[in-house]
Amino acid sequence: MNASTQGQARPELTIKRVLDAPRELVYACWTQEEHMKNWFFPKGFTVPHSQADVRPGGSYRSCLRAPDGTDHWVGGVYRELTPPEKIVFTHAWQDEAGNSEHETVVTITLDPVEDGKTRLTFHQAFFLSDASRDGHAEGWNESLDGLETYLEGGKAA
């Protein structure tokens, strides 16, 4: 490690939410296509392509279409699935051919809390810049807003 990188913090993202649903359902929303297709995208985005092999070592790849029509490809590999408490997967933006440059690791932990609710802790690391982390924070918070709406019986925007 050289002097210019020593001691520099590597940006991370942590988001915490309490969801009004049992953790088994919240876990299913992260791992089952019939749930994911209803919320797993930022506000205003659509998903014209999505495939996932949800098992340790399995991969996923999706195309997120922005409101302006721009396609954003993302993919990764599931590293750990511990129902109904933990999900770990890699996350990398890709070009249309599936090539990626930087990969982060997402860890979702689900803890039961009072009244049948679930505390979701979302952690993503490490980003190349604060700006990248902040952009992901916006997108993930919009997606989690959609998850809350979906769990309340509504349709995510």
Class of domain 12-151: alpha beta
Domain boundaries, the chain: 12-151
CB under 8 A, 24+ apart: contacts of 105-111: 105/79, 106/76, 108/30, 109/85, 110/23, 110/26, 110/27, 110/84, 110/85, 110/86, 111/23, 111/85
Q: Mind listing the pLDDT tens digit of every residue in the chain (157 residues)?
A: 444 445 578 999 999 999 999 999 999 999 999 999 999 999 999 999 999 999 999 999 999 999 999 999 999 999 999 999 999 999 999 999 999 989 999 999 999 999 999 999 999 999 999 999 999 999 999 999 999 999 999 766 5
pTM above 0.85, yes or no: yes
What pLDDT shows up at residue 1? 43
DSSP letters spanning 50-105? EEE--STT-EEEEEEEPTTS-EEEEEEEEEEEETTTEEEEEEEEE-TTS-BS--EE
